[in-house]
Amino acid sequence: MIAFPNCKINLGLSIIAKRADGYHALETVFYPVALQDMLEIIHSDNTAKDIIFSNTGIDIPGDETQNLCVKAYHLLKKDFPTIPAVKMHLHKKIPMGAGLGGGSSDGTAVLKLLNQQFNVGLNSNQLVDYAAQLGSDCPFFVHDHACHATGRGEILNASTCDLSNYKIALVHPGIHVSTAWAFSQLQPHAKEKSIAEIVAQPIETWKTTLINDFEAPLFKAHPILETIKNELYAQGALYASMSGSGSSLFGIFPATFSWPKAFMDNQFSTDFI
């Protein structure tokens, strides 16, 4: 069985407070974007190993046991031991450490595929509970439609935000950002106006009001990120921002917009959706 896990962008991101459990209270709107990985799961006859994981596309460094796809399998296997041994292959296109939630999307896709393929019987609320154990933004990918998120990102309510009449450009500058480092650069504080209120206004008003708190420290550490954002506006974006804790940026353009040239002389990976 094959799935195509997509990424997300953040429309605004406010870090409001440090919680007693070590997480941060935040507010954002998650919006799905059609840049996709490919995930295949098939039954394995290898009874000596529960999961055989392989990867093509973008290389995935580090310990395989820490991969969210592998973690998702073991998370369900623990509670549902009848799930058989599997071969799992991930073709990675969504860049990592980029603020696009690709790893979270992949891990959540494993939960959904296993549930469907092996008749585990979980409903969407139960899948959300399992996804929350993988990561704060994983529950969003169970729903995979525009959601207003609070708490540590796991409290989700459907958003009426609809960008289907616009084009979205994603730009990844090849900079890997440590989420822990990015959070360490912030001073959490409450905001005067909620992101939900701002996103409900016309997109033309977002430029001065819809803020990602991570931009200030990331732009200071990596000035090229601010250069990219300014270039997106120069090319005609109605709104441009960094996604998540970076380093990817996105621009939202009118549907009639035609990309005039290779972005920044092909220095960066760019997807136009």
User: What residues are labeled active site?
Assistant: 8, 137
Residue with tokens 């980029």: 98
Q: From CA 146, how far away is CA 158, in angstroms rounded?
A: 6
